[in-house]
A and B are shown apart, each in its own frame.
Chain A
Amino acid sequence: MDKNTNNKKNFNLKKAFKQYLFFIITAVLLGLLFIFKFDAGVKAADVIAYSFKEMLLVLPPIFIIIGLLDVWIPKETMVRLMGEGSGIKGIILAFLFGTVAAGPLYAAFPIAVVFMKKHVKFSNIMILFGAWGATKIPMLLFEMSTLGFKFALLRLAINIPVIILIAYLMGIFVKKDEVEAIYKKAEKL
């Protein structure tokens, strides 16, 4: 009995260590930076603090919406709207989802997982990703004010077909059974 719980504890520790390994390495590197190049260390800490704040600010509502979406929206509805055979409707919805999004691209990963659980078409998830990166409204407004109206507008106009092209190419290169394997993995995440 005792041995069993001990084993379990060990296993959990090992798992946690493996999960946090990447973080531990970067933390050690930051420590080294502080020792050898103090100024750069301070700068790195500044950027880290900013990103951390951004993460804590942006992620909570996104995850709450993801949770609600997962529980309330039936798979059939999502399949009808954005699944296989959803056609242009699915593409437009994928663009809309990405366009009204907030936060860095990594915030889109968990959203993709929920979408995969709901059997949203792979190419539509790729479009969501592209739109998340390139055509987000808040970013676009900001881009216009800093880099100019022409630059931002041009980038938007060129990116819409490019995003569709990326989704199309991904559909060609990633075979059906590979997509199925990815979707199966998503069920477990």
Chain B
Amino acid sequence: MSNYIFNGAIYLAALIFLIISLVKSRQKTRQALLKAWLSFKNIIPMLLGVIFLVGLILSLLDTEIISRIIGENSGPLGVMLASLIGAVTLIPGFIAFPTAALLLEGGAGYIQIAAFVQTLMMVGVVTLPMEIKYFSKKAAILRNVISFVLSIGVAYLIGLILKIWN
């Protein structure tokens, strides 16, 4: 629900800015829209590949397999695998969070779930070619590696605090 409201807000903001821009200068607005179109066109070929790749990966990794891998008693290996799954997949949050909640109910541990959510949000292996195109090989790989390592730390910290808190 909240995503629809938010999406609506972004559309509204874009519309308002667009109208202001149009009132101020037609020519500049045309220029802005042309730039918008060009950067959209630029991203499309790779994005299509990424979307297909994600579909392929997710078709082979279903909830059952994931919960078997990252159950509560899966230990550090489970945390590592949860982080890897989060890192290589690109699941939209609106699928990922309910899935994560299901996994929790199904017996997955908090640390594993935190690791999964964290790397899912911060690390993108399938989008790495895109990131390299926009930044550089070194910067893109480095950002993902650093985010991956710190994500595991964050996951353990969350698990630890929740254990005390609950």
Q: A residues touching B (Cβ–Cβ < 8 Å)?
A: 19-20, 22-23, 25-27, 29-30, 33, 40-41, 43-48, 50-52, 54-55, 57-68, 70-72, 102, 104-106, 109-110, 112-113, 126, 129-130, 133-134, 136-139, 141-143, 146-147, 150-151, 154-155, 158-159, 162, 165-166, 169-170, 173-174, 178-179, 181-182, 185-186, 189
Contact = CB atoms under 8 A, between A and B. Distances in A.
Contacts of B48: 20, 23
Interface string B8-32: 0011011101100100000011011
A102 B150 CA distance: 24
Given A65-B17, A134-B118, A185-B136, A48 B55 contact: yes
Interface of B: 2-3, 5-7, 10-11, 13-15, 17-18, 21, 28-29, 31-37, 39-40, 42-43, 45-56, 58-60, 62, 90, 92-95, 97-98, 100-101, 104, 110, 113-114, 117-118, 121-122, 124, 127, 129-131, 134-136, 138-139, 142-143, 146-147, 150, 153-154, 157-158, 161-162, 165-166
B97 A71 contact: no
A68 B127 contact: no
B154 A23 contact: no
B49 A22 contact: yes
A52 B50 CA distance: 10
B39 A29 contact: no
Contact of A67 (B39, B97, B100, B161): B39
B2 A67 contact: no
Nearest to B165: A150
Nearest to A105: B124
A147 B100 CA distance: 7
Given A105-B124, A139-B93, A146-B101, A65 B31 contact: no
Contacts of B166: 150
A178 B144 CA distance: 17
A55 B122 CA distance: 19
Given A44-B58, A102-B7, A166 B90 contact: no
Given A65-B14, A134-B118, A146-B100, A51 B55 contact: yes
